[in-house]
Structure 1
């Protein structure tokens, strides 16, 4: 099948960047920070506490899907951090690739709020937590997704994801010990 392409997904403040960087390092591949590819208009909107619409996300998701398609064509591994909150967003990111897997970082609103309140230098305000959870459609079993609790240490999530990928994304390991 080739090397994996992994989208680390979840609501704001769940740890996508930290887990994504750790997973990319473990896999020896490139990491793409999805937030770095938002257009200025999206960043301004979120900074002002206004949730993005599907139309706002369309171009951003197309850019990230392009990175994924390029890695797929070159048979390269890749890790992308992207909220990918809705099934249709994940379908767009996946495209025609059978190699794309999702790592869903799952946590409660209370834990997410605490994390977001503690972080600095990010445009996403805590005021958008409710909209993120309202938009979240947890991945179904047919989506090649592994769900892990954000309460687990990053190195444990990375190790679990590596095991899942080594096992070709078998569902039997997808939820063991990892839901919040």
Structure 2
């Protein structure tokens, strides 16, 4: 399934491991990793830090920036929870995008969020993340990987699926 463009989005709810897996995967396949959180405007970060879920109106400009950041191939971590969000990213990417869905149970992800510190996204928003989530369909250029395993095994599985 590897795409010639080399544009990959690690997607999933907050706490699924996009950053950890992204850094390790970028190292494994020799590309760059960008964190989509770094592209949020300050108003979005402040809103989430207050425990308020973003609206689609909040997300549209950010998703365009995420897509534009993929003009140079690489891996980008972004929740991309809805199909319409993934379509918006792909529209602005300048080439094909493969979405890598990091799938995990609500309990596993809640435990991970409770254990992390220093992130603006509070665990109280996890419910809204799962309510918004539309897992990729068979028609989308996407692969799914279960995150209930160590990061090196997740990276190995992604790499195998991309080259398989």
Alignment TM-score, normalising by the size of structure 2: 0.93
Deviation at 1:116, TM superposition (A): 0.5
| Structure 2 residue aligned with 1:92 | 88
Alpha-carbon distance between aligned partners in 1 of 2:134 and 2:112, rounded to the nearest angstrom: 21
Alignment TM-score, normalising by the size of structure 1: 0.85
Q: For 2:150, which of 150, 153, 177 is the aligned residue?
A: 153
* Stretches of 4+ aligned residues off by more than 4 angstroms: none
Q: Secondary structure at the match of 2:139?
A: helix
| Aligned length in residues | 161
Deviation at 1:97, TM superposition (A): 5.5
Alpha-carbon distance between aligned partners in 1 of 2:66 and 2:36, rounded to the nearest angstrom: 7
| Structure 2 residue aligned with 1:165 | 162
| 1:126 maps to 2:123 | yes
Deviation at 1:31, TM superposition (A): 0.8
Deviation at 1:3, TM superposition (A): 4.4
Deviation at 1:133, TM superposition (A): 0.3
| Structure 1 residue aligned with 2:99 | 102
- Report the CA distance shift for 1:128/1:34 in structure 2 as closer, same or farther (over 3 A): same
Written as runs of structure 1 = structure 2, the 5 A alignment for 1:1-180 is 2-68=4-70, 70-71=71-72, 77-95=73-91, 99-167=96-164
What are the ranges of 5 or more consecutive residues in structure 2 without an aligned counterpart? none
Deviation at 1:111, TM superposition (A): 1.1
Alpha-carbon distance between aligned partners in 2 of 1:97 and 1:90, rounded to the nearest angstrom: 14
Please tell me whether the aligned partners of residues 102 and 145 of structure 1 are also in contact (alpha carbons under 8 angstroms): yes
Q: CA RMSD in A?
A: 1.4
Please tell me whether the aligned partners of residues 68 and 94 of structure 2 are also in contact (alpha carbons under 8 angstroms): no
1:61-115 alpha-carbon deviations (Å, 9 max, x no partner): 11111011x22xxxxx300000000001111112276631111011111111111
1:21-64 alpha-carbon deviations (Å, 9 max, x no partner): 11111111111100111111001100000000111111111111
Structure 1 residues 127-136 or 145-154, which shifts more?
A: 145-154
